[in-house]
Every structure is written in C-alpha cells, then in structure tokens.
C-alpha cells in the first residue's frame, strides 16, 4: 500500500486540501482503500443553485433531495445509499470561490467542515480535494 493510500485511511488526517498529486494517483489510491469517490467538474458551474445541483448529482442524492444548503448538508452527512468505509469528494476546475458569491462559498466551506467532522465522529474519513 503506497503512502497516499495509507494517508487516506487515517481518519485524523481527513480534511479539505488542494490536491498535491496526479489524478491517476488519487484514483488508484481511492480504489485501493475501497472508498467511494464523488467527482464534480466545476468548470461550467456558476451560482449556488448550479453548485448544489452538481454536488447532488455527483453523490447520486436520493429523490427527497431539496436543492438547498440544508439538504446538501444532510445528504453529505447521510450517504446511506452509498455505504463505504470512507469517502473522497474531488472538486475539479473550480476557481477560488467555486463559482459562487463569497457568502455562498463561505456556507459551502462550513458545510464541508461540518461534513468532515461528522464522518470523523463516525470513524470514517471524508476527504475533499480541490484541483
């Protein structure tokens, strides 16, 4: 098991990071540890609604998904339809605000922090990588 795979398994290290490796290395490490990978291409995303919709599609949110911040937070802290020993959310081609107004970007980052903390409390790593 290579060092990235070992690091992904460390719940204490899980968090939100700028990706420091090639995508193929991340894909291989995620597969090796058996995590579910959610990938979102933010290149064409503008605005809160499109951002939330893109994340909902990536995680294959259930029909009850409400297309708002609360629903996104609930969904990322649920994932019962995607059982795994860990999760990786890969956000590609995003700018500094992920295509949203500053206030919405701040809300998204709070949701991400809460999601990571929730999964740590469940002893499951939830990683978010930006590239």
User: What is 3-130's CATH number?
Assistant: 3.30.370.10
pTM for the model: 0.94
Residue 14: burial class (beta carbons within 10 Å; 0-12, 13-18, 19+)? buried
* Sign of the CA dihedral with 72 first, then 107, 131, and 100 last: positive
Local confidence band at 63 (pLDDT 50, 70, 90 cut-offs): confident
Instruction: Quickly list DSSP for the chain.
Output: --HHHHHHT-GGG-SEEE--S-HHHHHHHHHHHT-EEEEEE-TT--SHHHHHHHHHHHTT--TT--SSHHHHHHHHTT-TTS--S-EEEEEES--TTTTS-HHHHHHHHHHHHHHHHHHHHTT--EEEEE-
Local confidence band at 102 (pLDDT 50, 70, 90 cut-offs): very high
Local confidence band at 21 (pLDDT 50, 70, 90 cut-offs): confident
Q: What is the CA radius of gyration of the chain?
A: 14
Q: Is the pLDDT of residue 58 over 70?
A: yes
Q: Which pLDDT belongs to residue 1?
A: 56
For the chain, the domains span 3-130
pLDDT averaged over the chain?
Answer: 94
Mean pLDDT, rounded, for 84-106? 94
């Amino acid at each position: 098991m290579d060092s990235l795979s070992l690091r992904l398994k460390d719940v204490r290290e899980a968090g939100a990071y700028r990706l420091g490796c090639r995508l193929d290395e991340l894909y291989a490490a995620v597969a090796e540890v058996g995590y579910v990978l959610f990938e979102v291409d933010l290149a064409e995303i503008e605005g809160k609604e499109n951002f939330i919709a893109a994340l909902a599609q990536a995680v294959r949110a259930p029909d009850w998904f409400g297309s708002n911040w609360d629903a996104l937070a609930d969904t990322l802290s649920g994932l019962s339809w995607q059982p795994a020993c860990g999760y990786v959310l890969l956000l590609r081609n995003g700018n500094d605000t992920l295509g949203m107004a500053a206030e919405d970007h701040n809300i998204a980052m709070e949701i991400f922090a809460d999601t990571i903390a929730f999964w740590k409390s469940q002893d499951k790593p939830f990683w978010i990588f930006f590239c």
